[in-house]
Amino acid sequence: MVSQESVGQSVVLSLSQASYRESLGGVWVSVGLDLSVRSGELVFVQVDRSRLMPVIGDACSGLINPVAGKARFMGLDWAEQGPEDAAAMRSRIGRAGPDSAWLPFMSVAENVMLAQRHHTRRPTPELVEQAAEIAGALGLPGLPLEMPGIVGTSDRHRASLIRAFMGQPQLVILERPLGTDTELAPRLFDRVVDLQDQGAAVLWLDDHIPEVAYGDLGGVRRFRLRRSGQLEVLA
């Protein structure tokens, strides 16, 4: 388990007085984010308006730019990156949530390994081995070989987590990662601790802060994003 002493010093994600204004269902909403996530750290954010979770994920991934303030990943300002550089930076980010996108003409297994095949030169057997190891850790007997549209919701959700954990991500963004799958909780928490031990920064967005966040975990901080769009620190 990660201790406070073992938490790395480098800032992986930095949102410095970053303000965003996005349209959700035809309604403009404002979000203010002022936080950083360091290597080996786990940050929970309780999002009172759950529809804002994808907006936060997009902001952290540089898919949208702030109207004020700065958003940086590994010290680089997202707004200053060209498309190719930004794509290369995103290859170091794993992201999973209930609304994860899937290419419908590829199997779930192919979807899971696609980014690693595109951004790295890792041989396919190595990718299959890592994916199978993560699948077993999350309670799947293996990667689903069917197309996404015919894979059950629970298995597809766990597969999105496998995809987020592939490679050696520097940042992992989890949007409501448990959903209604209560059996997943202990397996997922164990995997997150492993990621922390490997030096990854983990940002966990959810409707509520899970009880484990108040337990004996190292390198953990908690925030709440109020309906007003303002972020506050939780004890």
Q: What is the mean pLDDT of each run of 10 residues along the chain (235 residues)?
A: 50 96 86 94 94 93 96 97 95 90 94 92 93 94 92 92 96 92 88 94 94 78 90 89
Model-level pTM?
0.92
* Largest pairwise CA distance in the chain: 48
Assess if residue 2 is contained within a domain: yes
- Write the Ramachandran bin of 26: left for phi over 0, alpha for psi from -120 to 50, otherwise beta: left
| Residue 17 sits in the same domain as residue 56 | yes
Sign, CA torsion 58/72/231/41: positive
pLDDT for the residue 195:
95
Q: Ramachandran region of residue 75, left (φ > 0), alpha (ψ -120 to 50) or beta?
A: left
Residue 215 lies in a domain: yes
pLDDT at 3: 39
In a domain, 143, yes or no: yes
65/9 same-domain check: yes
- 107 and 144 in contact (C-beta within 8 Å)? yes
Residue 217: per-residue pLDDT: 67
Count of domains observed in the chain? 2
Parent domain of 136? 102-168
Q: How far apart are the first and last CA of the chain?
A: 21
- Write down the pLDDT at residue 6: 42
Containing H/E element for 158?
A: helix 153-165
Do residues 139 and 127 share a domain?
yes
Query: Do residues 53 and 110 share a domain?
Result: no
Q: In CATH, what number is assigned to the domain containing residue 58?
A: 3.40.50.300
For the chain, how many residues are written?
Answer: 235
Q: Which residues pair with 110 in a beta bridge?
A: none
Q: Do residues 20 and 131 share a domain?
A: no
Residues 84 and 44 in one domain: yes
130 with 79, same domain: the answer is no
At 16, the amino acid letter reads S
Do 145 and 125 belong to one domain?
yes
d(CA 164, CA 166): 6
Are both 8 and 86 inside the same structural domain? yes
Residue whose structure tokens are 């480098």: 10
Tell me if 97 is assigned to some domain: no
